[in-house]
A and B are shown apart, each in its own frame.
Chain A
Amino acid sequence: MEWLVASAVGVMTGSGIYLVLRQRSFPVILGLTMLSYAVNVFLAASGRLAVGLPPVLSDTAAGYTDPLPQALVLTAIVISFGMTAVLVTMALGAFIGSGHDRVEDDPGAPE
């Protein structure tokens, strides 16, 4: 399972970085989404991977899994969802306003 989770984080981070380096808004937004998926899985794994254990102390269960990373992931999901929504809105506004969705800087543009 460690291998599966680690490779998933790695593949998603790699694709995320590749997409973020593209020059159009849409792939960049997809890349940021991939990166946030990757970091969410990474955060979940930071409390050690365990299967079938409750996230609370209990006399009957064999052990427990750390509940804190799950709370962190929840916070991170909410924040990255909100941020993606804002980014999509702004990218759409920039696309409608300037007629293209390239993200690179153009120094000649008026300020």
Chain B
Amino acid sequence: MNPLLIAPVILPAMLAPLIVLALRGSLPQQRAVSMLGTLALWLIAVRLVLAADLGGVEVYLLGNWPAPFGIVLVLDRLSALMLLVTATLALLTGLYAIASGWDARGRHFHALFQFQLMGLNGAFLTGDVFNLFVFFEVLLIASYGLMVHSGGAPRLRAGVQYMVINLVGSTLFLFALGTLYAVTGTLNMADLAERVSVMPAGDVALLRVGAVLLLAVFAIKAALVPLHFWLPGTYAHAPAPVAALFAVMTKVGAYAILRIFTLIFSPDAAASAGIGGWVLPAALLTLGLGTAASLGATTLPRLAAFATVGSMGTLLIAIGQFTPQTTAAGLYYLVHSTFAAASLFLIADLIAARRGSLALVPGPAIASQGVIGTLFAVAAIGISGMPPLAGFVGKLLILDASRGAALVWLIWAVVLVTSLLSVLAFARAGSVLFWDTSAPAADQTAYPGLPIPIAAAPLALMLLLSVLAAPAMHYMERTAADLHAPAAYIDAVLGPVR
């Protein structure tokens, strides 16, 4: 057993209480500990990606209880990739929160931040569906605190809505788990996969109910239409670094769909045939609706939030086809869309700090107009999927991989038309914000300079992902091949002799 597997959960779980108990008086110390911890997390994630790419599936038995009796943490290429994306994003958003002073506008930002990372890492590593529920709750309860960080009545009201939606989702999750346990008698993912494949015909109906409930829960997390209503209000009201970190929260839903519906309810299994097929039409609707709504957005964070909904649609179009080619393309797009959405929220915050308002109405020119305007244009290129950033490569890969699909013409039409509409929406917003300006106002405020390069960093990452598309895509192809041949995962968890 590789003890490094539990480190991404243990490390933030130890740091958060330390920050809240021992360092509560000193913000500089909180910042130092939180960022050093996140840096350590990033190094661990890099190490785990290398380990997963070389050594295949690794298993950590909690308390050394053999699976399926104890809870297992499982590291494969997919979970290692998600850990690395999360740690990278956390590093950037944490630094931005410090540089822009967001973490000083309320209490306990860094403690909640670490708890959030603990929940995210745990959700990506666990090999037990009930444990997945528990880590969902950990990341959600931290996100409730982060979402209302620095307070204010509109933010609290949006926070209540966000909480209510997610509590209903948690209840559905429990109903789904109860149903699955009643049918199969296990909650270990690998064991579930084995038992579902030999399910007697009489129990299949109940099993399918559980599968559909699980899909609904993950669709809420992934903001899949018609379960997307929580996202725009939440993201638009959340503090900017938190909204940027939440870019990976929707990906948790996408990850869970990918994991559960390739491992347990694979499209090939007779008991679960057709359930995953619901994802593709919903994803097409999500992309269409998210992009159409971003055309009508009246504020910059709402524009970014609806663009996030649209990018989740594109991602789930790839994932929802459940073939190795589309999965690989989808994973590549997942990495890109996480950083694209994060950069949009950070740049929106740069603009908001200088304009004082986020409404998309003409106004005086802002300080460092040229730099921020350029960043906004690059981020818009990124999220719309135009060259040279990784969004273009990602969309191209998704279109190419979808050629074998029955709905290929519909998929191509929706992806291409929405890309054009997305360019329009961002061109409109950009020209209102940066061109339709009155005489430069005499703004003498000295803005901190550091947030600008930090907000630009995700854009550089997107460019890097585009330049390194070949090695990245090879990794994604190996990941997708693993996911669509889950025997190695099941053997690693349950042992070859059963």
Contact = CB atoms under 8 A, between A and B. Distances in A.
Interface stretch (B173-181, B309-317, B400-408, B490-498): B173-181
Contact of B179 (A28, A46, A94, A105): A46
A5 to B, nearest CB: 12
B164 A32 contact: yes
Contacts of A79: 134, 137, 170
A70 to B, nearest CB: 12
Contacts of A82: 141
B181 A47 contact: yes
A90 B134 contact: no
B167 A87 contact: yes
A39 interface: yes
Given A93-B151, A93-B156, A110-B154, A86 B144 contact: yes
B172 to A, nearest CB: 9
B212 interface: no
A6 interface: no
B163 A87 contact: yes
Nearest to B154: A109
A46 B181 contact: yes
A90 B163 CA distance: 9
A60 to B, nearest CB: 24
Interface residues of B, number: 38
Nearest to A25: B160
B2 interface: no
A90 B144 contact: yes
A86 B141 contact: yes
Contacts of B187: 68
A20 to B, nearest CB: 6
B157 A94 contact: yes
A91 to B, nearest CB: 5
Given A83-B141, A93-B151, A111-B236, A69 B164 contact: no
B366 to A, nearest CB: 18
Nearest to B180: A46
User: Per DSSP, are chain A's interface residues mostly helix, strand or loop, or mixed?
Assistant: helix
Given A32-B164, A68-B181, A43 B174 contact: yes
Given A87-B160, A90-B148, A32 B236 contact: no
Nearest to B176: A39
B301 A111 contact: yes
Interface string A54-78: 0000000000000011001001100
B174 A76 contact: yes
Contact of B161 (A68, A103, A109): A103
B395 interface: no
Given A46-B178, A46-B179, A111-B301, A32 B153 contact: no
B131 to A, nearest CB: 10
B161 A90 contact: no
Nearest to A87: B163
Interface string B49-71: 00000000000000000000000
A38 B177 CA distance: 14
B178 A39 contact: yes
Interface string A24-36: 0100100010011
Given A43-B177, A109-B154, 19 more contacts: A16-B171, A32-B168, A46-B179, A47-B181, A68-B181, A69-B178, A83-B141, A83-B167, A86-B163, A87-B164, A90-B144, A90-B163, A93-B148, A93-B151, A97-B152, A97-B157, A98-B154, A105-B233, A111-B154
Interface of A: 16, 20, 25, 28, 32, 35-36, 38-39, 42-43, 45-48, 68-69, 72, 75-76, 79-80, 82-83, 86-87, 90-91, 93-94, 97-98, 103, 105, 109-111
Interface of B: 130, 134, 137, 141, 144-145, 148, 151-154, 156-161, 163-164, 167-168, 170-171, 174-175, 177-179, 181-182, 187, 233, 236-237, 299, 301-302, 358
10 contacts: A16-B171, A46-B182, A82-B141, A90-B144, A94-B156, A94-B160, A98-B154, A98-B157, A103-B164, A105-B161
